[in-house]
Structure 1
């Protein structure tokens, strides 16, 4: 029962906040007659759509991946609070994965981080671990892309997983949304 509460509570919180966020964004759109370019890019970043239905063979890893998408979108939008919610869900889910302890540790660092830069640094390690686990598990549907930004983390460079070939950079966000390239395809 205690385990169920620990897993379910972050999920309920994430869905509740996501629903509230959608109502707020709809109200803002209705009150604006025109759209500016930055607002359109931010809106597009929140809806990272896969090229096909992506399904990771390991169901538990697939569930963690859904939260990873949430985290990536939050970081792309420079939303530290939303990143903490997604990371909390990743931490809970990854504890159930074989080889998921490193992901859980990185997710805990994101949740505890005091700013977006610290979250992005921990996200780099989490992404590398996710890439390794997804490659090991394989996909039963769709494609995922391993993206790389050479300017991330003070020009050290960093990877992330995306369901779209279009670059939406979670490390630099609005500063350099399209910085990066697809380095690998996972099928």
Structure 2
């Protein structure tokens, strides 16, 4: 009976893998060990690693081996394993923060054979697990302040360029700037982010990419502005924890979205409304200055 169960399990995994590969373009498949205990761990690990039509994780609780299938043009092994680590699960490449591991249900608190992430600080990241000088997701690096600034600077600058195009109600330029923003997002070297930046980045990455891609896919300024609302909200979360060379102004339009209002970020204190352009250029106010 056990042999039959194992065969059925193998067939199920194989069919699942075939289905996954059919959904993901440019699919690359790898296996990697991820630590966990139970079915709840399986659910958490797979949920953290999965991105619709981009990445799929199938984890085996008996072998602790995960099958990673992903579109290598849109993501990579490191990004997937970092998301899993932020959900509380160690791999031999990235370790979960102690505080997140501690919040796992008791049944999910696997034996941590690897060195806890929080115990290693202020060391240069080493992607090879055989060397111990690395911390959670390799995020704490020496002289990280300047490195983090340059890592995210392109994302912020492209956001501001997109905002300026919407001020001018130029859908064609906004589309081009959004495409540049999408490329900048995809090019971020997450190994150079601080722990705090990486935590926020992993929370907003999917939505930032979604909105920037949708803005680039159309030249309709009205539709672009709809996506710019949530894009700005997530960019604000990221900009709040990243060091800025100059002040950034978080500004509010009370009229947009049927009177619900909408925010945006600007390097200029003077109000130039990207949601209405010349129709109501100076409508709005600064609600926060980020320094």
Category of TM-score, reference length = shorter chain:
0.5 to 0.7
- Find the counterpart in structure 2 of residue 63 from structure 1: 154
TM-score, length basis structure 1 = 0.66
Give unpaired runs (5+ residues) of structure 1.
1-5, 7-54
In structure 1, C-alpha distance between the alignment counterparts of 2:248 and 2:237, rounded to whole Å: 13
Q: 1:115 aligns with which of 220, 224, 235?
A: 220
Task: Indicate whether 1:82 and 2:173 are aligned.
Answer: yes
Return closer, same or farther for 1:121/1:58 CA change in 2, 3 Å cut-off.
same
- Find the counterpart in structure 1 of residue 249 from structure 2: 145
Q: 1:176 aligns with which of 280, 286, 289?
A: 280
Compare 120-129 and 98-107 and name the one that shifted more. 98-107
In the TM superposition, structure 1's runs of 4+ consecutive aligned residues that sit over 2 Å from their partners are 55-58, 95-101
Q: Provide, for residues 61-105 of structure 1, a one-character-per-residue CA deviation record: whole Å limited to 9, x for no partner.
A: 211111111101100000000000000011111124433332111
CA contact (8 A) 1:165 1:182 kept: yes
In structure 2, C-alpha distance between the alignment counterparts of 1:156 and 1:118, rounded to whole Å: 17
In structure 1, C-alpha distance between the alignment counterparts of 2:277 and 2:221, rounded to whole Å: 10
- Find the counterpart in structure 1 of residue 263 from structure 2: 159
In structure 1, C-alpha distance between the alignment counterparts of 2:271 and 2:155, rounded to whole Å: 22
- Find the counterpart in structure 1 of residue 240 from structure 2: 135
- Find the counterpart in structure 2 of residue 39 from structure 1: none
- Find the counterpart in structure 2 of residue 102 from structure 1: 207
Q: Give the drift of 1:114.
A: 5.0
Q: Give the drift of 1:185.
A: 0.5
Return closer, same or farther for 1:145/1:56 CA change in 2, 3 Å cut-off.
farther
Of structures 1 and 2, the one with the larger relative CO (CA 8 A, separation 6+) is: 1
Return closer, same or farther for 1:156/1:178 CA change in 2, 3 Å cut-off.
same
Return closer, same or farther for 1:144/1:57 CA change in 2, 3 Å cut-off.
farther
Q: Give the drift of 1:60.
A: 2.3
The structure that has the greater radius of gyration is 2
SS across alignment from 1:183: strand
In structure 1, C-alpha distance between the alignment counterparts of 2:148 and 2:254, rounded to whole Å: 30
Task: Indicate whether 1:91 and 2:196 are aligned.
Answer: no
| Alpha-carbon RMSD | 2.0
In structure 2, C-alpha distance between the alignment counterparts of 1:56 and 1:164, rounded to whole Å: 25
SS across alignment from 2:288: strand
